[in-house]
Structure 1
Amino acid sequence: MATRDLTMGMIFLSQTLTGILGNFSLLSHYLYLYLTGCKFRSTDLVIKHLSVANCLVILSRGVPQTMAALGMKHFLRDIGCKLVFYVHRVGRDVSICSTCLLSISQAITISPRNTRWAELKAKAPKYIGFSVALFWMVNLILNVMVPLHVTENGSDKNMTREVDYGYSYSVISDRFTVYGAVYGALVLLRDIFFVALLLWASSSMVFTLYRHKQQVQYIRGTNVSSRSSPESRATHSILILVCTFVSLCTLSSLFHSCLTVLSNPSVWLVNTSALIAGSFPTVSPYILMSHDSRVHSLCCACTRNTQSPG
């Protein structure tokens, strides 16, 4: 095995293990909160589904990419290739939708009571569960065409362009019909719509936090407590999450476009695209946990119990 392949295999393996550990830690945290009877926030349900979607993305892309880099080329059967790509695409799209919903929910939560969002504050939590279920259902249906462009081998003479991921081939055929063009347009419009909503909600949160800070400084003068509220900490974490998501999503889209346009992309381009695609699902749980005061309280409680005499 070449040193380059071994290095890439170790990088993919590290990313996969780090992402799975982070997302399972986040889900375990919510399980602990449930078992101890702690009160959940309106955004916690979205975060739990985001973690599940992240796990699907990491497992469906990170595991086969690691095995391919370590020398196990094209080990999946045709049905396995189609299933892996389908699960990856559904997980990715649910992750986009969940991140958008998370941002919008937090923007409504921190909005002043004297604004037009006041009526939504009481109603929004009731629709979060329905919205998440709708995201899963729509993306499961919308991505049914993904397996049609995936195959176990690249020997079909009708293929014009193909991308070798090491374990499967993603192909674009000469028989690309009007239905395929319509499907591609729908997927693109959906992504643009959710990213636009994401940016709008994030801008609204930044404006609300800035205006609140100015009002507090005006009322209290210089005697302003440096301790931020739970809402502010949650908002900051979501803003960091959104910035990370938009940056990595833009990079991933650029690399994916290169893979689609080029007739024979290099192994380096394929591996880099896969690494970037798995970056957000890997880092997002750590961003969320680092700003969750309940995680810090749990850690402090565990420390006190450990240090107390038996």
Structure 2
Amino acid sequence: MASSFFMIGMIILTQTVVGILGNFSLLCSYIILHFMGYRLRSTDLILKHLIVANSLVLLCKGVPQTIAVFGSKHIHGDAGCKLLFLLHRVGRGVSISSICLLSVFQVIVISPWNSRLAALKVTAPKYVVLSIFLCWILQILINVIFPFHVTGKWNDKNITEERVYGCCSIVIDKTEDALYAALLSFPDVLCLGLTLWAGSSMVLILYRHKQQVQHIRRTDASSRSSPESRATKSILLLGSTFVYFYILSSIFQVLLAFFDQSNWFLVDMSIITAACFPTVSPFLLMSHNSSVHRLYLAWIRNAKSSTIMRKV
């Protein structure tokens, strides 16, 4: 039993450290590109907020849970649990909303001029900042009542109806449980549906574009994909990864809800699966994002120029 707790703690610790380092490195890349004078796209602005939200999820869930797994029980009381749960829920919600916004925005960008989305191609970039701001505000308003149901796990109060989630507990009122769960789940389900719609639309648009250019025989025109196509494939990969881990995490959350007493295996697995996407996403972006590639190319050019200057 002790070895299994140690293994779970090491998995959560590894996820947290790797994820925070990856998100921090990617965020620094965008900041450096900004100060170097590169003009970032609207999708890059959405990605920056996605990185911040993912970092918030890892910091507010991974770090306390790692401490709790390794035996430090009295890490924080009610106030600490309420704050951590609120920040975690807001970060998680903004992460879901950012993926949805990113997918919908990219569908508008690559849609043909004769489609119904063509009217939004010019106006959509103007509302990116407002949309991101609304994502943060709406998630705060939706989750602001969540801390009232959270207490410290080792609180001295005698609470009979509660579920233990790692280092904190959630007080359950069965008469309000279904309504509250529906309120919290509705934005997630809506964003998930829009993400799936946007993903299938992008696949269909790319397929039609490929069919249209098949008659072009020149190698230089057909072998290289356009920047829009590469960005779309990157967003498709990011969105499909998010959907996979979100569904996997939701399965463990549903199973956990059916147990009257908290099951430690399901608690740990729900935490591990929930942290998978924030951990993996920065490395997916670094391997497919053209903005990050521009930074690496700039570093290479600067290194080469400095070497030439030394030789001269």
Whether the 8 Å contact between 2:103 and 2:235 is mirrored in structure 1 is yes
- Whole-Å Cα distance in 2 between the matches of residues 246 and 52 of structure 1? 19
Residue 133 of structure 2 corresponds to 133
Q: Select 1:215's aligned residue among 194, 200, 212.
A: 212
Q: Which runs of 5+ in 2 are unaligned?
A: none
Q: Select 2:249's aligned residue among 243, 248, 252.
A: 252
Residue 290 of structure 1 corresponds to 287
Whether the 8 Å contact between 1:96 and 1:194 is mirrored in structure 2 is yes
- Whole-Å Cα distance in 1 between the matches of residues 38 and 23 of structure 2? 20
* Paired residue type of 1:119: A
- Whole-Å Cα distance in 2 between the matches of residues 303 and 279 of structure 1? 32
* Deviating more after overlay: 155-164 vs 45-54: 155-164
* Deviating more after overlay: 76-85 vs 149-158: 149-158
TM-score normalized with structure 1 length? 0.92
Residue 199 of structure 2 corresponds to 202
- Whole-Å Cα distance in 2 between the matches of residues 39 and 237 of structure 1? 19
Whether the 8 Å contact between 1:161 and 1:262 is mirrored in structure 2 is no
Alignment of 1:19-168 (within 5 A): 19-152=19-152, 153=154, 156-165=157-166, 167-168=167-168
Whether the 8 Å contact between 1:154 and 1:162 is mirrored in structure 2 is no
- Whole-Å Cα distance in 2 between the matches of residues 42 and 193 of structure 1? 22
How much does 1:221 deviate?
A: 7.1
How much does 1:157 deviate?
A: 4.7
Residue 229 of structure 1 corresponds to 226
- Whole-Å Cα distance in 1 between the matches of residues 13 and 196 of structure 2? 32
How much does 1:36 deviate?
A: 1.0
* Deviating more after overlay: 156-165 vs 65-74: 156-165
Check 1:138–1:164 CA distance in 2 against 1; reply closer, same or farther (3 A cut): closer
How much does 1:300 deviate?
A: 3.6
Check 1:145–1:61 CA distance in 2 against 1; reply closer, same or farther (3 A cut): same
Q: Which digits, 9 at most, give the CA deviation of each residue in 1:110-147, with x for residues without a partner?
A: 11122222221110011111111111111101101211
Count of equivalent residues? 306
Percent of residue pairs bearing the same amino acid type: 51
Q: Which digits, 9 at most, give the CA deviation of each residue in 1:189-231, with x for residues without a partner?
A: 2221111111111111000100001101124377753222211
- Whole-Å Cα distance in 2 between the matches of residues 190 and 164 of structure 1? 22
Q: Which digits, 9 at most, give the CA deviation of each residue in 1:68-116, with x for residues without a partner?
A: 1121124211100111111111110111111000000111111112222
* Paired residue type of 2:56: L
TM-score normalized with structure 2 length? 0.91
